[in-house]
Chain A
């Protein structure tokens, strides 16, 4: 999964772009993220935290970073552990 790859959820509208990826299984709403092909499934109600447009999501170790380019209802996770919202450090607009 190269940086720049676009991944789609099969259980909600979420789409993400890979900023950084090491290893492990990426899921959204409990189902693997992929190229969007294949059957649509049901969202795991325990993993329905939602994704927010333009937000970045990272794992605790910082090996994976995803940018949400289309919001949806599922929670992003790496090997079953939910990804966290990456805190933005606000900078004044410089250009």
Chain B
């Protein structure tokens, strides 16, 4: 089944209803569906092997996504923030592509590689004006829908592929068709090359919840757009939420009374920040979503009631759940496995494995699924006795000290409770004695004196095992994060080694 059917259904149910707002222009489902059909004709005529996007979010991204789906050509949004050499390599891997966006950069980087390039507005116009053969069959949707390059932190980026069937299964399993009221609008500010940005478009269209695009996130613009479009739902990464709250603290004012629900994910949410947000927006429903590109987005959810219950609870166990990513979706299976592949009981940390129709786990080069169809996420974590999933960093981030596995998360979570510590990262540092030992990079909170390194060590010694005590403690003004709010642990290692 083709994901383009979701847009067709929205258009058939209510062609004149507004489905998308971008740069002040409103697009109805009928207009979007017609434009996607035009784009399909353009894509088919081009003979392109991929449809790539090298641009911020706009109506063109939505039209290209569904046009590519109708044509049966993989849609491949690229990270425009990549350095020239890295982007040039990816452009080579999608050639010949129909590329929407930054024509000048494509010309500079890949010259005559057979790409057909449309600047954003020219693509939208061409899609609207294309002659569509009403008899032409759309692609049955048995193949690849999306190709997303991983960030490639350890090696060359891998091309993760999502089949139509993966996304269809995710949407049908989590969204009820047409379930949104006509007054609902969702603000999407994550970039189009991120799985959350794609999932947000497809889910919202299927729910018939109007999508409001904010192509370049700035907290003041986000607040203004909430007021102007009477936004009811939003998805943010934790960094964005932090910056929105900072802006409010600085006195930026906007009427955001329409905002009923905020979902977040894509990186670790600092506990203090979510407590603050729950206090600041007492009527807002918060949802934490955990997922990966390879799993078609969300696989576990911490819902609004669970947020409020944890926030006001005095029971440490219930309160701790605010740091979890909630309960796995009922439509997938999830297990924690040890190093020898054995399934671990509640409370024991290991690697998170998932299985289900929405899980792709495939790359263009090879499949990462095991013989039984389980996908090793490379995320470390554990389930508590009630089934709540707690993340403990990437499996590759585990510090191996003299054969003992140490998860950075437990050290970081403990030290973040120190009043003078605003942010912290624990990483492996080389140790002659142990092979690896724990090193921590600490950011001191404004207004507090820098704590003594030995004070930090004794806090760890008192609460965790002695192997967790950091050998190296150093202080920095801030820690390195990427634009999605993910801590760059490789960079932290470099900082501590310098």
Whether B123 sits at the interface, judged by CB under 8 Å, is no
Would you call B196 and A95 a contact (CB within 8 A)? yes
**Bound state CA distance, A1 and B383, in angstroms?**
40
Whether B177 sits at the interface, judged by CB under 8 Å, is yes
**Bound state CA distance, A93 and B287, in angstroms?**
8
Who on chain B is nearest to A3 by CB? B1
Would you call A54 and B13 a contact (CB within 8 A)? yes
A-binding residues in B (CB < 8 A): 1-2, 5, 8-9, 12-13, 140-142, 164-165, 172, 174-179, 186, 196, 199-200, 203-204, 207, 209, 233, 235, 261, 263, 265, 285, 287, 289, 297-298, 301, 303-304, 329-330
Whether A92 sits at the interface, judged by CB under 8 Å, is yes
Neighbour of B289 across the interface among A4, A90, A94, CB < 8 A: A94
Listed by A's residue number, 6 A-B pairs whose Cβ atoms lie within 8 Å are A53-B177, A56-B172, A67-B172, A93-B204, A94-B287, A94-B298
Would you call B165 and A3 a contact (CB within 8 A)? yes
B306–chain A nearest beta-carbon distance, Å: 10
Chain B proximity mask over A69-95: 1 for CB below 8 Å, otherwise 0: 110000000000000000011111111
Given contacts A4-B142, A53-B13, A92-B301, 5 further A-B contacts (CB under 8 A): A2-B142, A53-B12, A53-B178, A94-B289, A95-B298
**Bound state CA distance, A55 and B287, in angstroms?**
25
A66–chain B nearest beta-carbon distance, Å: 11
How many of chain A's residues have a CB under 8 angstroms from any CB in B? 21
Chain B proximity mask over A36-76: 1 for CB below 8 Å, otherwise 0: 00000000000000000111100000000001011000000
Would you call A95 and B304 a contact (CB within 8 A)? no
B-binding residues in A (CB < 8 A): 2-4, 17-19, 53-56, 67, 69-70, 88-95
Would you call A17 and B5 a contact (CB within 8 A)? yes
Would you call B177 and A94 a contact (CB within 8 A)? no
Determine the chain A residues whose CB is within 8 A of the CB of B298 once the complex forms: 94-95
Would you call B2 and A93 a contact (CB within 8 A)? no
A57–chain B nearest beta-carbon distance, Å: 13
**Bound state CA distance, A70 and B304, in angstroms?**
34
Would you call A91 and B12 a contact (CB within 8 A)? no
Q: Which of A17, A92, A93 has the most C-beta atoms of chain B within 10 angstroms of its own C-beta? A: A93
Would you call B287 and A92 a contact (CB within 8 A)? yes
**Bound state CA distance, A70 and B297, in angstroms?**
28
Known: A3-B1, A3-B165. A93 touches B207 (CB 8 A): yes
**Bound state CA distance, A53 and B179, in angstroms?**
11
Determine the chain B residues whose CB is within 8 A of the CB of A56 once the complex forms: 172
The 9 closest A-B pairs by CB, nearest first: A54-B177, A94-B289, A4-B1, A95-B199, A95-B200, A92-B287, A94-B298, A88-B176, A94-B263
A92–chain B nearest beta-carbon distance, Å: 5
Would you call B297 and A95 a contact (CB within 8 A)? yes
Would you call A91 and B285 a contact (CB within 8 A)? no
Per DSSP, chain A at the interface is loop
Determine the chain B residues whose CB is within 8 A of the CB of A55 once the complex forms: 177
Would you call B12 and A70 a contact (CB within 8 A)? yes
Known: A92-B287, A92-B301, A93-B287. A53 touches B172 (CB 8 A): no
**Bound state CA distance, A88 and B177, in angstroms?**
10
Would you call A92 and B2 a contact (CB within 8 A)? no
Known: A93-B209, A93-B263. A69 touches B235 (CB 8 A): no
Determine the chain B residues whose CB is within 8 A of the CB of A92 once the complex forms: 261, 263, 285, 287, 301, 303-304
Would you call A95 and B9 a contact (CB within 8 A)? no
Would you call A69 and B5 a contact (CB within 8 A)? yes
Would you call B265 and A94 a contact (CB within 8 A)? yes
Who on chain B is nearest to A86 by CB? B172
Would you call A95 and B261 a contact (CB within 8 A)? no
**Bound state CA distance, A90 and B265, in angstroms?**
20
**Bound state CA distance, A70 and B2, in angstroms?**
16
**Bound state CA distance, A70 and B177, in angstroms?**
12
Who on chain B is nearest to A90 by CB? B176
Neighbour of B263 across the interface among A69, A88, A95, CB < 8 A: A95
B326–chain A nearest beta-carbon distance, Å: 10
Determine the chain B residues whose CB is within 8 A of the CB of A17 once the complex forms: 1, 5
Determine the chain B residues whose CB is within 8 A of the CB of A89 once the complex forms: 330
Determine the chain B residues whose CB is within 8 A of the CB of A93 once the complex forms: 175, 186, 203-204, 207, 209, 233, 261, 263, 287
B249–chain A nearest beta-carbon distance, Å: 27
Who on chain A is nearest to B165 by CB? A3
**Bound state CA distance, A88 and B173, in angstroms?**
8
**Bound state CA distance, A3 and B265, in angstroms?**
32
Who on chain B is nearest to A15 by CB? B12
**Bound state CA distance, A92 and B263, in angstroms?**
9
Would you call A69 and B9 a contact (CB within 8 A)? yes
Would you call B203 and A95 a contact (CB within 8 A)? yes
Would you call A54 and B178 a contact (CB within 8 A)? yes
B167–chain A nearest beta-carbon distance, Å: 12
**Bound state CA distance, A31 and B141, in angstroms?**
27
Known: A53-B178, A54-B177. A91 touches B13 (CB 8 A): no
Q: Which of B1, B9, B203, B207 has the most C-beta atoms of chain A within 10 angstroms of its own C-beta? A: B1
Neighbour of A4 across the interface among B2, B199, B287, B301, CB < 8 A: B2
Determine the chain A residues whose CB is within 8 A of the CB of B142 once the complex forms: 2, 4
A87–chain B nearest beta-carbon distance, Å: 10
**Bound state CA distance, A41 and B306, in angstroms?**
53
**Bound state CA distance, A90 and B196, in angstroms?**
20
B129–chain A nearest beta-carbon distance, Å: 28
Who on chain B is nearest to A67 by CB? B172
Would you call B9 and A54 a contact (CB within 8 A)? yes
